[in-house]
Structure 1
């Protein structure tokens, strides 16, 4: 089996080494510019891109595109240790022997071929990580139609933080971000875009990601919040693979990473002629794929349930293998009649797929409206309401205490 190689950089020595070794590596093209090398890899003629010049390392966005197409990337020049480690990129000094070079490249190619089919990108473990955490990513998704997804995601994160866990909440809704508004944070800086810029710069420093987030006090606990983009037109600033890397890195340092996702998963941009064009819904698609736990919020009425059924069909067709947990929201007699929970169970057993029903959240417009008006979660506005108790149960928290009303939250710029 031969491994085709594109060399980026005017380094005849490397080409002579590869051709003289007569192993499995075969040079198919030598490129002097980044655009030429990327175009050559796009044609499918390369299994590996070897970057032989430190001045020609492609930006992280282009490296991610190559890795997603299962093209390995190798930095092969003097003093690669001077470079910050780039995720999924192999760093080798130029004086490495050909046997080592071929062996390492074969390992990378095989790894991409076996693990790159799920569409996820890895974040290498950091040697100085002393947290010892094995966090998880919890995503909240729904069909279109405002079923209360952001409200549930926010209060889920708040209750998890109040239970003593370290939590970071990411507003990844590229259509209608609302977490900042619900928390009274009129933030135009778009923390979610700052996270992506930090990752695109090759940073794996969690302190830099923390600095981009707001530190919010909820009750007697704190959590970090990455606010969403304030205008939907800014969606290209939130690059899917960069946000995925950020979430995976935060997962190493936090107990729970909570994601509020947009409802749309269609990738219509694949029909365009420009295959490098950003895809608006790619953020939702990639974050769904890397989630450890996925809650689908369903509005419990005659409009919300049919929408949810259609959305589940689309999800199973586009992303097979995902197993969303169903959460019925706004459950009440006014929308479903008497015995609303029993009626929902009967309707779901008759028409719905075989996904687990994780919870039934009662209708409480008064508490939700008061929370939005006060820019605070239910923990502070309505600590004794049944809706808050059900969200605590959804988060796996037993409500055995008698809750008290907390004082208003105070925001901190940085810990």
Structure 2
């Protein structure tokens, strides 16, 4: 069978498959270096390879192609990440896409963990640099992050997420079953000070962080699943956060359901919906603002992290505050690890992108919400664990997301650390 003409500009090959169906492996003969592709989604295909329709049709594949650039059809779809290529079939020729904005995004993604660390040091050393960021500015800052994600999404992404209830169930159980129990065990094992004990447990019982959606985007994870899981857990926190807090620390923490719903609309749903609408109906506008959105997201992330640190600086740097460091790091480490590997067990059998997303959603929770609730209902000292958690989960989560976004996997971490220690 002859090769479709859109493969000819970059390899002389023939396709041995007879159908572009999800799960079909496509091989080439003669074989170039590592040419295998694995089809994960097709649209508008009604025939096999020999009967490709003459009108433009989109084919989305993951590829191990050795070519270091991004290929794109004349009306094609854009690839994001290191393991997914998208082609659209038409009578035109294959074009090499400009990598300027993509390279900028990758550079900023790699720098983000260092920006977070620098933000933490600056906020603790010079609190006035971030203390001006009040609650009124915090919601718009997170909204800017969500907008940068929304312009990368399509309605099809959400439709696919709703068709997979198992990942949503895994993430939800990890959020409100595993993490509260883990927090209780760690607090008792490390004998957390009484002035911080309740605040630490409360931090382990809140919803997932909106920042996890941005981390999922950086890690080439399932962003739509992350947004859905974060939204569901936030809505459910109206019931589960007071219930779990009452069971684990013996006091009920009331939550203003109306205020929380308003926060969800402002921080997640409105900017993401706006981005979806722009990406669907205003492509020229998206093409203009997309190059600057990585910078906007980085600035917003820095503001969201620096503000709670600057406001709670004195308590964080106290002797009791420093004792919280190890328990908080331990909690987030096991949360990230469990979220990833539970999704990998044979009973679940989730894809790599889904495992990354569940891991990030499990390890990153809305510590700012915990700090607000602790201040209002438990006392200001109980807000210190939440403020420390903001730094830990942001640095650990964003570093892990950047590590995954570079094309690496969990099993690559030991080799990466070894090479840095002995060959740097």
| TM-score computed with the length of structure 1 as normaliser | 0.30
| TM-score computed with the length of structure 2 as normaliser | 0.30
Which structure has the larger Rg over C-alpha atoms?
A: 1
**Higher helix proportion, which one?**
2
